[in-house]
Amino acid sequence: MPRASIQIDRADVARATAALVAAGDVRRSVGEILEAQGLALAAFASVEDLIAGGADERPELILLCGEDALSSPTQQIEPLRRVFADARIVLICAGMQRWEMRAALAAGASGVVMDDDLPEALAPCLAAVRAGQICVPQEHWRQIEPPALSTREKQILGLVVMGYMNSQIAERLFLAESTVKSHLSSAFGKLGVRSRNEAVNLILDSKHGLGMGILGLGGEPLETTSTGVR
């Protein structure tokens, strides 16, 4: 895949302090802001392109521009975290839903900047994440904190992790199945996930610092009935 149009001498790439993954007009505007900050810059057309550089690339900052990082933050961000464990990852996008913000932070993003705020917000965001801070737009500050799940949501998620279906959960907790679905929908929104599988993966993987390891489910003891489910 071809390199992005911002040109940089190959000798500079190994010492680049910022890697930019972008396409289109936003690539140029972001590149100009980075260069104004005195950051050595290497630009790439895709995450795969950057990862292909392997040990040759040691960026302090990685900036992902575009909707791909939002549609699949785990696929886009987690591979970068594995290869560039010390890099701070900042997303640049046109807009973001609550679940998208939660998913991006869970995957390992350190900052988020909206396209319309680039001229004013990008440089301060980069300064913050380089100092070890999390930086997101003000309206999304609640997504930085661990999700505040209700006791019932924790109980239901615990049973989801154990493999129970909604009808079985309803029977065990003496609830209508529609109530179980309502609690799950609320819990998914708080966790920033869209499916049972994504919720289970997040709960069982506590490495992202959301406090959602299986032991963190807590809640009151489950009231159960004899359903024969194991």
Tell if the pTM clears 0.75, that is, is over it: no
Residue 39 tokens read as 């950051």
Pair 108, 161 in one domain: no
Q: Are residues 56 and 33 in the same domain?
A: yes
Cα–Cα distance measured from residue 74 to residue 76, given in angstroms and rounded to the nearest whole number: 6
Residues 92 and 116 in one domain: yes
The whole domain housing 52 covers 10-144
Which residue did the predictor score with more confidence, 223 or 69?
69
Question: Is 138 inside a domain boundary?
Answer: yes
Q: Which residue, 144, 174, 201, sits at the end of a domain? A: 144
The reply to whether 37 and 117 lie within a common domain is yes
Q: What is the tens place of the pLDDT at every residue in 87-119?
A: 999 998 887 776 677 778 878 889 999 888 888
Sign of the alpha-carbon torsion through 82, 68, 133, 30: positive
* CATH number, residue 90: 3.40.50.2300
Q: SS3 of 178, please?
A: helix
**174-194: per-residue pLDDT in tens?**
999 999 999 999 988 877 778
Q: Is 181 contained in some domain?
A: yes
- 114: amino acid identity, one letter: M
Task: Supply 180's token pair.
Answer: 């179980």
Choosing from 126, 144, 162, the residue where a domain stops is 144
Residues 170, 114, single domain; the answer is no
Helix axis angle, 177-191 to 196-204, nearest 10°: 60
Which single residue is written with the structure tokens 């609640």? Answer: 142
pLDDT at 94: 81
* Weakest mean pLDDT among 36-50, 51-65, 178-192: 51-65
Give a yes or no: residue 230 inside a domain: no
The reply to whether 136 and 188 lie within a common domain is no
Calculate mean pLDDT across residues 2-28.
57
Task: State the Cα–Cα distance between residues 161 and 196, nearest whole angstrom.
Answer: 8
**How would residue 68 be classed by pLDDT, with cut points 50, 70 and 90?**
low
In a domain, 189, yes or no: yes
